[in-house]
Amino acid sequence: MTRIGPVLLRRVRQHFGTLSAAWNAPAFEFEAIEGIGPKLLAGIQSDRARLNPAQLLAEYRAKNFNFWIPEDEDYPRLLLEIPSPPTILYYRGQVDQNENLGVTPAIAIVGTRNATEYGERWTRKISAALAKHGFTVVSGMATGIDTIAHRSCLQAGGRTLAVLGTGVDVVYPRHNQQLYEQIQERGLVLSEYPVGTPPEAKNFPPRNRIIAGLCRAVLVMEAARRSGALITARYANEFGRDVYALPGSLDRPQSSGCLELSNRGAHMILGEGHLLEMLGEIPHLDVIESQPPPTPDLPPVLARVWDAIATEPTPLDLIVTNTGLTPQEVNSAIIQLELQDLIAQLPGLRYQKS
């Protein structure tokens, strides 16, 4: 089957409005999409001729754990803001709709596998403080800082998410089996890799973009100059997330990456209180209770689109699905509603009532 990566799939979705519309579109329309040449287009045509989407989905669900695709209502909204949201996101554990909508703030804690006593101590303090103040802690379940962040969050009664570089059914490292089970009881285990995928070095850098994409900010507790945690920080910068670094000693290799991040403009972590104060200033973290806007007097098609848009960010695909209109009709209605200042566009092809 022809493989289309997350970036190109997003372009297809944006061009046609929905993947369903793309599946049924004439082949020549794909030629307008950047990245689709004659060879790839021939593969797409071949797949469409021999595959049955409904049958394929049923077979896939029978072989795999729960998963989301970007069209699903429960797909994490913050991931739709990044250039390459996972095409499929597998999960095990407890789903929190507020978290997926970005209402409950998620903060990543990442760092070296070879943590010092100093790094371990501050990771425990910071993770527990975030948990007690209602933040979701996100990490990668690796040995070292990641493991300590997850455990400290759980011990403080918080919720934590682990993003794996393996299938969601593969525990790596093996000694984290108990932690893996505990995370599922009070949070989620996530991965873009199919069931049974083993730990391979090439899987972990792409995994780090998901950690950064899920979160409002990334905290790097300890990291050497070539640490994978710095990859997560780089993605965070690209995605417009804030980066924080724990200052350390020049004598410790585990602090060199954090010091370099601080030199490049990352915020320094100067204690739990200071960090919580800084995180409280991140836009969109605070939930503001407000009355829903009054229903305007609109023509039938505009009214249908207006009703399909919530006061929370609503993705374009969901609007098309809920209205039953064509992507072209929805796009036309959205333009008219925007001109009347009734809705506002947000990153990731999402819309919200003004």
Q: What is the pLDDT of residues 19-55, one digit of tens each?
A: 778 888 888 888 888 888 888 888 888 888 788 877 7
Considering only CA atoms, which of 108, 120, 107 is closest in space to residue 254? 120
Contact 81, 261 (CB under 8 A): no
Give the angle subtended at the CA of 92 by the CAs of 12 and 94, to the nearest 5°: 105
Q: Cα dihedral sign for 277, 282, 284, 285?
A: negative
Considering only CA atoms, which of 128, 175, 133, 135 is closest in space to residue 155? 128
What is the structure's pLDDT at 284?
44
- The pTM of the full predicted model, rounded to 2 decimals, is 0.70
Q: Is the confidence at residue 191, as pLDDT, over 70? A: yes
- H or E element that contains 235: helix 228-238
Tens digit of pLDDT for each residue in 144-190?
999 999 999 999 999 999 999 999 999 999 999 999 999 999 999 99
* Single-letter code of the amino acid located at 192: E
Going through 83-132 in order, the beta strands assigned E by DSSP cover 89-93, 106-110
Selected residue with higher pLDDT from 350 and 279: 279
Q: What is the DSSP letter of 89?
A: E
Query: What is the third-level CATH fold of 6-63?
Result: DNA polymerase; domain 1 (1.10.150)
Max Cα distance, the chain (Å): 69
User: Which pair of structure tokens corresponds to residue 248?
Assistant: 């350390």
* Confidence band of 2 (pLDDT split at 50, 70, 90): low
Q: Is the confidence at residue 66, as pLDDT, over 70? A: yes
Query: How far apart are the C-alpha atoms of 159 and 146, rounded to whole Å?
Result: 14
What is the structure's pLDDT at 45?
82
User: Which pair of structure tokens corresponds to residue 18?
Assistant: 């929905």
Strands 188-191 and 89-93: antiparallel
Q: Is the confidence at residue 326, as pLDDT, over 80? A: yes
Q: Is the confidence at residue 311, as pLDDT, over 50? A: yes
Task: Report in angstroms the alpha-carbon separations of 211 from 54, 85, 192, 206, 272.
Answer: 31, 11, 11, 9, 22
Alpha helices in 17-52 (DSSP H): 19-23, 38-50
* Confidence band of 287 (pLDDT split at 50, 70, 90): very low
What are the domain boundaries of the chain?
Answer: 6-63, 79-279, 300-353
Q: What is the pLDDT averaged over residues 283-297?
A: 53
- Which residue is it, tokens 């350390």? 248
Domain 300-353 has CATH 3.50.50.60: no
Q: What is the pLDDT averaged over residues 335-353?
A: 79
Q: Is the confidence at residue 318, as pLDDT, over 90? A: no
Contact 18, 41 (CB under 8 A): no
Q: What counts of helices (H) and strands (E) characterise the chain? A: 15, 12
CATH class of 79-279: alpha beta
- The torsion angles phi and psi of 232, rounded to 5 degrees, stand at -60, -40
Tens digit of pLDDT for each residue in 96-134?
988 887 778 999 999 999 999 999 999 999 999 999 999
Q: Cα dihedral sign for 109, 114, 119, 123?
A: positive
User: Which pair of structure tokens corresponds to residue 300?
Assistant: 């039938």
Cis peptide before 327 (omega within 30 of 0): no
